[in-house]
Structure formats: C-alpha cells, structure tokens
A and B are shown apart, each in its own frame.
Chain A
Amino acid sequence: MKHLLSAADLSRDDAILVLDTAAELAAVTDRSVKKLPTLRGRTVVNLFFEDSTRTRISFEVAAKRLSADVINFAAKGSSVSKGESLKDTALTLEAMGADAVVIRHGSSGAPHRLATAGWIGGSVVNAGDGTHEHPTQALLDAFTMRRHLRDGAGDLDGLHVAIVGDILHSRVARSNVLLLRTLGAHVTLVAPPTLMPYGVESWPCDVSFDIDQVLPGVDAVMMLRVQAERMHAAYFPSTLEYSRLYGLDARRMGLLPAHAIVMHPGPMNRGMEISADVADSSRAVMVEQVANGVSVRMAVLYLLLGGMKEEI
C-alpha cells in the first residue's frame, strides 16, 4: 500500500499488520534510547492546514523515533482563503524531496486529491480531512481496544462499541465505523437525530438516539467532542440539554459492564459530552490513547515507507 487515505483502504489483514507492527514498535518506546534507524535519510512532511498540535506532535514523534527527517509545514489558509494553493504547496514539497506527506486539511478529500492529482510522488497519510476521515485515529482506537479487551492480539471480533456525539461532523466516527467493522466489531452510533449523517441507516452499524439503552451492552464507549457552535446552528437547543441527554456522567458510567472502557479522541469538553469524574476515572483510557497514537503512526509510516521488519 502506498497511501493511507481512508480506513476503508485497509483489509482485515492490513489492519492487523499495522496493529501488530505498532505493538512491536511500542516496545521501542519503553527503551531508554527510543529510536530506530529504520527511516534514516527519509523525509516526512507534516502538512497541516488546520491547527492540531496533538496530531501533529504525535506524527512528529513517530517519524523521529524512526529516525526520519521531519519538516513541519503549517500552511495557514488553504486556497479557500486565497493563500497558496494546495497544488503549489504540494509541488514545493515534491521539489524538496518529501517521501511521505502527512496531511491535515479542513476540506474533505484533500488528501485523496493530493495522492491522485499527480502533483507529488510520495506517500500520503490522511491525518484528518474535513468531516471525512481520520484513519490513524481509528487505528489507535482499535489498538487501545485490542490491548484492553483482546489481550493485545488478533482482531476485535465480537466487540460492541458505542460511538456517541457529533457523528455528522466527525471524521473519527467515519473511520472508526469502517475499521471496527473490518476488524469484526459491532458499532452503535448514538446521537440526536440532527447530528446523524444523512443516510446513516445504510452504514454498516446500528443507530440509536438513546444512550442509556445502549451502554449496558457495550465493551467500549467512545465519546466525541461536541462543539458549542453546533448549538448556534440549531442542531440542539442548549449545551445543558445535550449534556443531559447524551453526556457521559458518573451515573451513566455505572450502566456500563464492569470491563468496559471509556474513550475520547480529545480534546475533551469536560462538562459537555463527558463529566470530569468520568474523564479522570480508572476506566478512562484517554492518556493511553495518546501514547498508542505514536506507536500506530510509527507503524503506518514504517509500513508505507517500506521499512524492513527485521530492524525492529
């Protein structure tokens, strides 16, 4: 595989290979010298058209641990706002010899365009595009679930995962639905009807408007960030009502089976979709998700740029 644009690009075997590779690479992180020579001399560009310090740093650390040269290119303003166009930026990076471009863009499909328009020759990794996809987030979520719920190996066959919140605008939800399905898990999306995508009935998952009914049957619940701006666009009447109907508080956490974990891709709105006591509870695995993000992104860069497995 040359690019990672969508979680749908990954077959079950591909996905498991990424997760297994990430598990091996995670061990490196536990060494005192946290570095492998695998991608020495290769150049990875982090091309971020949207601010996302968390994701950018995660990719940066991942690339550096593989000894790649990392260039951070914070492109302020896409061609939408009449800055430099995506094409000219791409041509610049190509001229600089980028082996891989990790792109975050506000426009859905921009990574796809970068990979297929013939502007660059290197690999493209989608680090989040508009309201489309965020495949490495889904991989790190799967990795986290596998560690907690499946002894860190194989697929996720039989798991039931609830994804709760602003599904409509969430690239995390889209990628997770696709990847979790590929790995054999069952997904239920939970949100007010206004925050469900049109046509969600035909997605390979269940849909519910009632979180209390769903929680007792899940192995993991993933809470999504809900932006207060959505209230002004009349997706729901008030943050208070949203929180009351769809937020995860201590009472609702009590509905979960004993083994179930609580996830969140961050950044969290404490008090909105997740209460502080839930966020800080022992079931919450958010900090671990961040650590796993580095391992998974190492694995993705490693596999796309053709690192040799024996070097680990």
Chain B
Amino acid sequence: MSRVLRGVRPYGEDAVDIVIADGVIAELAPAGTGVGDVIDADGLVALPGFVDLHTHLREPGREDAETVLSGSQAAALGGFTCVHAMANTNPVADTAGVVEQVWRLGQVAGLVDVRPVGAVTVGLGGERMAEIGAMAHSAAEVRVFSDDGKCVHDAVLMRRALEYVKAFDGVVAQHAQEPRLTEDAQMNEGELSGRLGLVGWPSVAEEAIIARDVLLAEHVGSWLHVCHVSTAGSVEVIRWAKARGVQVTAEVTPHHLILTEDLVTSYDPIYKVNPPLRTAADVHALREALADGTIDAIATDHAPHPHEDKDCEWAAAAMGMLGLETAFSIAMATMVEPGLLTWRELAQRMSVRPARIGRVRTQGHDLVVGAVANIAVVDPSAVRVISATDLASRSRNTPYDGMELPGRVVHTVFAGTPTVLDGALV
C-alpha cells in the first residue's frame, strides 16, 4: 500500500506529492497526481525526520520520569524519527545487556529508531573503561559512547577511549566539564552568579576540556564529538580545531540557542540545567556557529525530571529540561526565521549530520526517490502556546510553559509509516 503526502513542499520548495511505498520514497510526483492513501500536507514543509543525538529516556531506572515508550512518543510528536538514548540510566548502560534492553524497548515502541548510547566508563565512574566492544557488537550496534552527565576527565582514560572506538568506527561524545572547577556549581559563573549567591559554573571549565580533547583527538587520530556546547569560547576552540583538520563534531541544545542566564534571577529551578544557561553573547556565538557549520547539529538533551525534583529550592533541584517536543519550534525561531539557516540547512543540522555522527545508516537521508521514508512535515506558519501538561513526556519540566512558539510538527513518518498525523500520535 502506498501513501501520498499531498502537496507538500520539500525543504520549503515547490509543492509535490511524496509517494511512499515499502518504507521508502517511491516517487516525487507533481502535486495532486500521486496515487495512494492521501495525507493532506498542502503547503506544509517536508524535512527529513529529525535525529536527536542526545536524549534521556530514563529507562531503566527512572520510569517515573520517562520511559522508552513515552520518550518515543514525545520524539515522534517533535518530528523525530531517531533518538540516541543516553547511558546514565539505572543500571547504567555500560554493558551489552542494558543497551540491548533499551534497544529492544525501542523496537517494541516502534515510533522512532532508539539508538542506545554506551557508557565510556563502568558506572560512569570515570575510572575503568566499560565493555565498549561488547556494546558495539551487540544487537544494539552501539556507535556513540558517552558518560554524559559526567565528564571523562582523566586524560589517559579519554585518550584510550578515543583510540579504542576506532576499531568499530565509534565516537566518544564528551560532556565537557572540568569537575574540580565546577564543584557544587549551580549556574553560569559571572556577575549574576556573584549577585545571586549561587556557585558559578565557569565557561573555562567547558572550554579547557574541549581544548584538551581536540588536541588528544588530533594526537591519536581519532574522532571526537562534543556534547551540548554552551559558550562562545568553546565555539572558538572548535572552530580552531576544525580549521586545523582535527576530526571533531559538536552539538548545541535548543535551549542554549534561546534562553539566557538572567532567567535564573527568578530562582525557579525550571531553568536549572547542565551546562547552565549562559549569556546573550554566548547565545549569539552559538547561533553563528550553528549557521556556519562549526557546530554540526542541534541535539535536545531532553532531560525529563519528576515534578518534585523541580518544585523545590534551586540547590535541591535536578538539572535538565525537556526538549523533544519543542526543538523544532526553537530551531525555527532562532535559526530559520532570522535567516541564519535555510530549510535545507536546518535539515542538515537536525537530521543529516546527526545521523552521520551517530552512524545511523537508515536516517538522515535527503528527500529523494529511494530514500528511507523518515519525514517530518511541519507548518511554519502555525503558532502554538506550549502547555507543560499537554506534552507526551511523562515529565513537565519544560521552560517554555505558557510561551507562544512559532512552527508546529503536523505529520511524522517513520520508515514509511505515519507515527503522527495532524499533530496527534497515530
């Protein structure tokens, strides 16, 4: 059976009918001529399904915050067709058994490709390398390894991990945070942290690790991926490294493209996140870097937390915010509307590049005949008011509650099958 996305505009260009059959794009027919079950997409924009390199699905261990199923639902509603599930679960995803469990739960949910990320070190302890090879050779075929939430701060261990993953074309995704410089850190270190009496998280703690790691990657000829870049200084280091030929890629979160540290003045822990919200100058530098390709991808760092972990005083609160269901709107508002990225370029940042970084062969295809039909259909002219309680995620910790955001994901097609139609799960 074939389906037709009727009258859709790939990358915002001329309207066509995208005919989908057997899980792939079978034909790009003139608008109104495609044959099959019609999905009305008149005037909407089609983009390759989004690929998230950085998602916390919380299962196993914190099913009160999110599950593979609820996270997959949130992802599909956000236009994603693939997510990378971070390793900081309980138990930690540091063995073939745990990554296969997460992978299977993803298969059962069947809404997106759930690609487990393996831990670099046992229990994220930063001391002994986890069984990276076993995870790579498991059914989950892990390619991205990260201690996200913690930094692989030991230089020798980082070097070994960078070298070790070369055997199966893997990548180490570093959470760059020098631990001693960030003990008890609560927010960006600056004039505001001094005034609010909150322990600062200095940008140098991120930049120093990135600088070390790009030099290590160059030295051992490995490939490094940098998670959630948050400062202008980090951008400069990565730009320098890329110019030098170092194999480094980087991601930025939607919230670091729009929110700034002054929100912390409210002491509302909804704004508590790691790395912390930075300054307007950092936001500006991150947008520029995403536009010029210094930063390769948008990755959500979707971090669900139960309400009680945010409904408290700042220091007691958990770090992190939801991202899957708002990522497209933020990307559109910060990058497309101001003219920093075209739709084609946004597709690179949200789908093509992250799929390549994650080594996901079936994702990030251009919208051409023969491509796997992973498609996000969006309405750029829509405006919606975000409501935390209406999200599919089990948690409510979105910083955008009550905010009016532009753009809306209307349909999502995953491997040829619609997962979302008219903004609702199928």
Contact = CB atoms under 8 A, between A and B. Distances in A.
Contact of B267 (A80, A87, A112, A174): A112
A160 interface: no
Interface stretch (B241-249, B313-321, B369-377): B313-321
A109 B190 contact: no
Given A109-B267, A116-B266, A200 B316 contact: no
Given A78-B313, A86-B316, A108-B315, A132 B191 contact: no
A264 to B, nearest CB: 20
A41 interface: no
B316 A79 contact: yes
A174 B197 CA distance: 9
B196 A108 contact: yes
B191 A198 contact: yes
A254 interface: no
Contact of B195 (A110, A116, A174): A174
A108 B266 contact: no
A96 interface: no
A270 interface: no
Interface string B338-371: 0000000000000000000000000000000000
A116 B267 CA distance: 9
Interface string A94-107: 00000000000111
B314 A107 contact: yes
A107 B313 contact: yes
Contacts of B198: 108-109, 130-132
B266 A199 contact: no
A171 B192 CA distance: 14
A279 to B, nearest CB: 27
Interface string B211-231: 000000000000000000000
Contact of A107 (B189, B191, B266, B315): B315
B308 interface: yes
Interface string B111-141: 0000000000000000000000000000000
A105 B191 contact: no
Nearest to B269: A113
A132 B196 contact: yes
Contact of B197 (A78, A79, A129): A129
A111 B198 CA distance: 14
Interface residues of B, number: 24
Given A85-B312, A87-B311, A132 B194 contact: no
A230 to B, nearest CB: 14
Nearest to B264: A109
B190 A199 contact: yes
A306 interface: no
Contact of A105 (B193, B200, B202, B313): B313
A202 interface: yes
A198 B196 contact: no
B101 to A, nearest CB: 29
Nearest to B267: A109
A80 B197 CA distance: 17
Interface string B172-206: 00000000000000100111111111111010000
Interface string A105-141: 1111110110011000000000001111100000000
A203 B193 CA distance: 12
Contacts of B267: 108-110, 112-113, 116
A110 B200 CA distance: 17
Nearest to B186: A108
Nearest to A177: B195
A113 B194 contact: no
B327 to A, nearest CB: 28
Closest 10 CB pairs of A and B: A132-B197, A109-B267, A199-B191, A197-B194, A107-B315, A108-B197, A131-B197, A110-B313, A79-B316, A107-B313
8 contacts: A109-B313, A131-B198, A171-B197, A174-B197, A198-B189, A199-B191, A199-B193, A203-B194
